[in-house]
Each structure stands twice: as structure tokens, then as C-alpha cells.
Amino acid sequence: MNEPFAVPTVDLSAYVTDASAESRAAAAAALGAACRTVGFIQIIGHGIPTAVTDGLAEAMDDFFAQDLAAKKRWVRPSSENRGYSPPKSESLSYSLGVDPVTRMNDFFEAFNIGSSAADFPGFTDETGDYAANTWPDTAGFEERLSTYFAEARRVAFTLQDAFADALGISADVFRAVSDHPINVLRMNNYALPPGSIELGADLTGMGEHTDFGMVTVLWADRVEGLQVLGRDGQWHDVMPAEGALLVNLGDIAARVTNDEWMSTLHRVKPPIVDGTIKRRRSAAFFHDWNADAIIHTLPSILDRAEALYEPITVAEHVKAKLRGSRAGVKNTTAVREQERVKSASL
């Protein structure tokens, strides 16, 4: 019988401060338990100052408040995974090869920044996954987002070290494949002007999907909409506590652990209050390892179980997912995730 669904809260402060080995071991054990049972975690003690998250929110507000024509100046080719994405230009469910109700119907708008080749001295981008950033001319935008990006990156690497401890392996195992990672910060805005769209079954905030990488660090408004698929096959509402961040595992974590840790299926439903779409914002930091790294299951896990996934490079995996979500080409490789979506209750 499945336990009632709940998102565990884990205090990460033992890894942020100079804490004892016992405190770090306790935090790693709590993370490991959460990764085995839910794969979606709320973290406190992450060490990101409130002033930094406030700056992130202000930068998002300043950019998304512009009219659509002004924002479209910053659209980039979908293959670059940078710049602005207008509403209804994507469909995340295609990244799993699952048909949405209508094609390219997710109503969120987004702006992406990420690690560029220039961030890694001596590195040559041979896969095209490290595009330069586009910085809109909104006052303070680059400074505020760069500050948050650095903090979220720190948290992601801190979590990665804690994950290694939870799995009983050296942190160097994961560090060796993440010295030039594909890190992307995606800022999402889920609001449309009232009355501009008919509310109905074809309105999707963000379609069901799994994230591509090792771990996602999510800042989000305390507004309804985010839902997580539990092991009971039901969709459950999730909202962060004040000052907390949400963390979910991605496909790399699932492949590395042979699904002992599961890549968390999630979606965003329209937050509708009295027939009006309520505004919701989020910023997801995706930590996706090096593009040329090969994702394979840990040998210690294969000692006790048959591999569920074939090895694949990070670049190949990410491209298949992005072709689905941003170019509308159904991903045919996410078979296990498709089965979970199709068996879930609506």
C-alpha cells in the first residue's frame, strides 16, 4: 500500500556551513530517503539570501511586464535554448513523446540564460550546447540574474555532493562529469491578460514532463498550479513554504540509479480563481552535467540489478528532449516516462 503523498523537507545547512560529519551524514540520509520515495524535495538552509531571490523576482517582473512585441526581440533559435519563448510556442509533453490536447499549447512564457563556452577557459563547444547569452536592455536584468544564477549553481553542486554521499560514492564521481556542465536557468511566467484566452481543456500551463538533467533547483511563487505525479498514480498539488526552494530529480539521476531514484513527472495546471488566471512565476535552475559525459548506471547498482537504460551522452539526451518541447518532434526514447504518464489519473 502506498504511503500518503508528501513532499519531504530537508535542511541543507550542514552542507552549506562547516558542520560536523555526523550532521552532513544525517542530511545526506534524509535526501536519499526523499529521492527514493518522492523525488521532489523542499529544501531549507540553502543559504541563498532573500535579497538575491527578491532581485530575481524583480528582474522577471521588469522583463515580463513588457508588451509581447518588445519581448519577441529576444527570441533565439530553439536549438540554442536561450532567450525568450512566447506563450504557446512549446509543448513539454512532446519531450516525453506524449501528445498534448493541442500541439504547442503550453501557455507559459519563458526566458533562458545558461552556461556559455566562454565560462570554461580552454573549452571548445563541439556539441552546440553552450550558446552565448542574450541580455535584454531591461535595467539591472543581467546583474540580478547573474547573481541568482551563481547562487543556484552553488546549491545544485552542493546537492550533487550530498547525493553522492547518499549513494555511498565519492563526490569526485559526479564532479568528474560536471566540470563544464550544461546549466540553464529558465524563468517562467504563467499569466495572460484576463479574457484573452478561453478557459478549457486545451489550456495547459506546462505539460507533463520530466527534467533532463541531474537535479533542478526551483524558486517559485506560493501560488497554486504545480503538480507532481506520485507513486500512487495521482497528481498532487505542491507549493513551497516561505523561503524554501523546491528540488526535483531529473533523467540523469534516474539513469544513474537505475530508477531507484525516479525522475519526477510534474506539470503546471492553470491557477484559476473565480474564472481568472492568477499570476504565477517560477525560475528553474537545471544542472545537466557535461555535454560529452556518458550517462550510465552506477556499477554498484548493476551488481544487484539489470540495467534499465542504455548508455547515452548528455548532449544526445538533451537534444532529443528539446526537439520535443521546442520543435514539436516527438521524443521516441522516453519509453519508461511515457508509460508512467499514460497510466496516471487525469
Return the minimum-mean-pLDDT range out of 70-84, 238-252, 315-329. 315-329
Summarised one tens digit per residue, pLDDT across range 35-49 is 999 999 999 999 999
Instruction: Write out the E strands in the chain.
Output: 9-11, 40-44, 83-85, 109-114, 181-189, 206-209, 215-220, 226-229, 235-237, 245-249, 266-268, 272-273, 276-277, 281-290, 294-295, 312-313
Q: How confident is the model at residue 201 (pLDDT cuts 50, 70, 90)?
A: very low
pLDDT of 101 reads 45
Is the pLDDT at 92 greater than 90? The verdict is no
pLDDT of 253 reads 96
What's the whole-number mean pLDDT along residues 213-237?
Answer: 91
Q: How confident is the model at residue 173 (pLDDT cuts 50, 70, 90)?
A: very high
What's the whole-number mean pLDDT along residues 243-264?
Answer: 94
Residue for grid cell 492553470: 270
Summarised one tens digit per residue, pLDDT across range 116-129 is 999 999 999 999 99
Domains parsed from the chain with CATH numbers: 9-343 (2.60.120.330)
Summarised one tens digit per residue, pLDDT across range 267-323 is 888 666 666 677 889 999 999 999 999 999 999 999 999 999 999 999 999 888 777
Share of the chain above pLDDT 90, in %: 65
How far apart (Å, rounded) are the C-alpha atoms in residues 65 and 71? 9
pLDDT of 102 reads 44
How far apart (Å, rounded) are the C-alpha atoms in residues 44 and 59? 23
pLDDT of 8 reads 95
